Amino acid sequence: MVNVNIGYVKQVLCASPDFLEKHSLPAHPDELKHLPCICLGENVTDSRWRFSKKKQQLTVQVSGTYLLNHSDMRKDAIVQGFGIGPLPDYLAQQGIEKGTLIPLLQDWKMQGNYQGGICLQFVQSKYMPNKNRAFIDFMKQMSLMI
């Protein structure tokens, strides 16, 4: 197998401008305890959000009415002001640029299972179909642009 690193996904904690008009802007992860948050709901630890900043590690127990394990649905709920929630950076980016999402606690790194390196794996073969080779070359080129 050949393994090619083509990118990295990180979690971005976001809220909508409407939400922030009604609630205070959190300056520290501990303040999330008092705000409605949107969790994944896949297991009991999904409401324990982990953060790091330099050598400081912090776990915050959050709560909220909504549990959404689909990223697009979670994004829609955040945009509509239902709470604060984590999104993959590639999904949050357009909303941040448009102003429909506001990134929070940017000096803290949110830890989680759904972030890390993106790898393209394939079987090395001198008989690889041209369409597969073209796709691999395209993905390698795209990773250089990121």
Spatial neighbors of 88 by CB under 8 A, at least 6 apart, are: 9, 10, 11, 12, 71, 114, 115
Angle ∠(63,21,96) on CA atoms, nearest 5 = 80
pLDDT at 110: 94
Average predicted confidence (pLDDT) for the chain: 92
* Token representation of residue 126: 């001198």
Intra-chain end-to-end CA distance of the chain, in Å: 24
For 3-12, the pLDDT digits (tens) are 888 888 999 9
Closest Cα to residue 63, out of 47, 51, 52, 50?
47
Closest Cα to residue 11, out of 106, 80, 130?
106
Q: Which domains does the chain have, with CATH numbers?
A: 10-115 (3.40.190.290)
- 83 SS3 class: coil
For 87-142, the pLDDT digits (tens) are 999 999 999 999 999 999 999 999 988 888 888 898 888 888 999 889 988 988 87
Using the predicted structure, report yes or no on whether residue 144 has a pLDDT greater than 70. no
The conformation of residue 19, written as its DSSP 8-state character, comes to: H
Higher pLDDT, 97 or 42: 97
Q: Which of 12-21, 45-54, 128-137 shows the lowest per-residue confidence on average (mean pLDDT)?
A: 128-137
